[in-house]
Structure 1
Amino acid sequence: MSVPLIDWEPRAPLQRLHLDWLVSAGVEVAVLRLDLIDPLITGNKWFKLNHPLHAAHATGAHGLISLGGAHSNHLHALAAAGKRFGFTTVGLLRGHPQETPTTRDLQAFGMHLHWLGFAGYRARHAPDFWQPWQALYPHLHTVPEGGASLAGAQGCSPLVKQVREQLAGLGWADYDAWWLAAGTGTTLAGVVLAEAGRRRVYGAMAVPEDHGVARNVASILQSAGRVAGDYQLIDASRGGFARVDETLLDFIGVSELACGVPLEPVYTGKALLALKEAIESGRVERGQRVVFVHTGGLQGRRGLEQRA
């Protein structure tokens, strides 16, 4: 049995974001709620999987194999899609066996897990890394960590069309910019490709600058035949990936109460706080209309709450 041809095209609602500091600054923000596309397969991760799934179907692959951590939104979406649509999934995990809300879900969805240790996971960029796994699972299609590839970016390009189709419902004729969290930069690259220079795309990096987001975005754009794009990366990591501080947590708590949109501290919370800081510094000017992408990831905050 091969991967079924999946033509599911989830729709994300576009909603106004109501926060006092936006009103005071004279900036309008609409949030694209990728967290609402499906009860299980939520966020931007599904869009990054769409093209790899079609590639797997075209080659007769039986499923997909990829990498991630014990709280990985990427592996969670992949495992949930495998459960929903009936194909095999395998996850190669960073570190040593541990039980988290995410790994419990992965197993419940039927994903086969392999723990690589930390040294084994660091070797994932080695030229021969995939050879033993392809020998063990010859009928599976490999997906890069986080879906970071041109195919992953192309799967995110339809987000631009979804926004444009909903502008009239907001009373907007147009918008000025995008704002979204960036872990690998793949979703950002997809939006940049679809916008083709028409609007600036801001990426609030959830990882420090030395994690290669800029390099990955540039590589994807080059693979698509673009040497440049209108985008800007901003360090919103607050000192490290999944690094959480009281200022961030307080901001998330106040924001959720004020606007009713759930956030998490790894991606969306940091991105929204970075937007507030950009408005205060004048980077985003009065009168602008900004599309903020809610990239999902809410399942991952269960692990952070567990550790608190």
Structure 2
Amino acid sequence: MGPFDWLPHAPLEPLKLDWLNGVELAVLRLDRIDPLISGNKWFKLTEHLAQARAIGAKGVISLGGAYSNHLHALAAAGKRFDFLTVGLLRGHPQETPTVLDLKTFGMQLHWLGYGGYRARHEPGFWLPWREQYPHLHPVPEGGGGLAGALGCGVLVEQARGQLSNLGWADYDAWWLAAGTGTTLAGLVLAEAGAHPVYGAMAVPNDHGVARNVSALVQGGYELLETSRGGFAKVDPLLLDFIQHTEHACGLQLEPLYTGKALLALKQQIEAGRFTPGTRLIFIHTGGLQGRRGFP
């Protein structure tokens, strides 16, 4: 199942913004790899799909919310590459633009409520779903775990292969949004200590990102709490920053992940965290379909 020879290429582009103060910034455009299977989600899925193929599964079952980028990419991949998908959703039935897409892509949906979704980390959570769908391979929320992290390691190779296009011989660090920390862990594994990775957390400290990452890697990264009051919380400063950035350089952002991450970088540069001449790679993790949840 699945096109295991499909490896989308993310372009690395310079980003010119008036607040960089001499810091050189390039963005790895995962939002441009595909119209539907967008962002870091495909890379996190590749190893999970390989595991599914190895056990002869006919498809994948996973979890997410009503605007989940992960479920959106998974369902789109299932439709394009002809494997079954089932989504376990947080909350109660609603027809968001994302949910309508999931149905169009052919994903079978089950709504767990909020208490039922909170139980996803409890022992035995997957047992009834394995019994109901014995032919499907379960994938953690967001495509997490070691398999998800290993799939993201190729991003380091893709970025390094394009440095000469920028006139760079090397770079100093990575900067990206962190929702579960899986992509960050994958970068740390691939870097093997060569360059640090900074994760701007889209969720508060108590959401387990630090625990997720420390279970996969030891050192080589730093997490910053940049949720601005909680997951999916927005404020006028953030929305104004996103609008200004789009007008300034044409880079589309969304307010849950990439908008918060880039705003946090701006604040760190203004605080003197990075000196002029520092070369940073910012990962655009996609998720633009989620913009439909905001006015």
Q: TM-score range by the shorter chain?
A: over 0.9
On the 8 A contact 2:66/2:94 being kept in 1, the answer is yes
Shift of 1:282: 1.4
CA distance in 2, matches of 1:6, 1:111: 21
Read off the aligned partner of 2:10 and give its amino acid letter. A
On the 8 A contact 1:196/1:229 being kept in 2, the answer is no
Shift of 1:202: 0.3
Shift of 1:220: 1.6
Aligned to 2:189: 193
Read off the aligned partner of 2:165 and give its amino acid letter. G
Aligned to 1:265: 255
CA distance in 1, matches of 2:97, 2:117: 21
CA distance in 1, matches of 2:177, 2:48: 22
Given the alignment, which residue of 117, 131, 135 partners 2:127?
131
CA distance in 1, matches of 2:164, 2:3: 33
Residue 278 (str. 1) matches residue 280 (str. 2): no
CA distance in 1, matches of 2:3, 2:41: 18
CA distance in 2, matches of 1:126, 1:163: 38
CA distance in 2, matches of 1:6, 1:66: 19
CA distance in 1, matches of 2:49, 2:274: 37
Read off the aligned partner of 2:250 and give its amino acid letter. G
Structure 1 residues 29-78: Cα deviation after superposition (integer angstroms, max 9, x where no partner): 00000000011100001000000001101110000000000000000010
Structure 1 residues 179-227: Cα deviation after superposition (integer angstroms, max 9, x where no partner): 0000000000000000111111000000001101000001122xxxxxx
CA distance in 2, matches of 1:244, 1:93: 22
Given the alignment, which residue of 149, 157, 167 partners 2:163?
167
Q: Secondary structure at the match of 1:21?
A: coil
CA distance in 1, matches of 2:220, 2:124: 35
Residue 253 (str. 1) matches residue 251 (str. 2): no
Aligned to 2:223: 233
Superposition RMSD in Å? 0.7
Aligned to 1:11: 9
CA distance in 2, matches of 1:4, 1:137: 19
Please list every run of 5 or more consecutive structure 2 residues that lacks an aligned counterpart in the other structure. none
CA distance in 2, matches of 1:104, 1:303: 13
Q: Secondary structure at the match of 1:128?
A: coil
On the 8 A contact 2:3/2:81 being kept in 1, the answer is no
Structure 1 residues 207-265: Cα deviation after superposition (integer angstroms, max 9, x where no partner): 001101000001122xxxxxx22110001100100100000000000001101110000
Please list every run of 5 or more consecutive structure 1 residues that lacks an aligned counterpart in the other structure. 222-227
Given the alignment, which residue of 51, 55, 64 partners 1:55?
51
Structure 1 residues 71-97: Cα deviation after superposition (integer angstroms, max 9, x where no partner): 000000100000110000000000000
Read off the aligned partner of 1:232 and give its amino acid letter. E
On the 8 A contact 1:176/1:290 being kept in 2, the answer is yes
Residue 147 (str. 1) matches residue 137 (str. 2): no
Aligned to 1:224: none
On the 8 A contact 2:19/2:270 being kept in 1, the answer is no
CA distance in 1, matches of 2:286, 2:274: 24
On the 8 A contact 1:76/1:102 being kept in 2, the answer is yes
Aligned to 1:225: none
Shift of 1:5: 5.1
> Identity, % of aligned pairs?
71
Q: Secondary structure at the match of 1:55?
A: helix
Given the alignment, which residue of 54, 57, 64 partners 1:68?
64
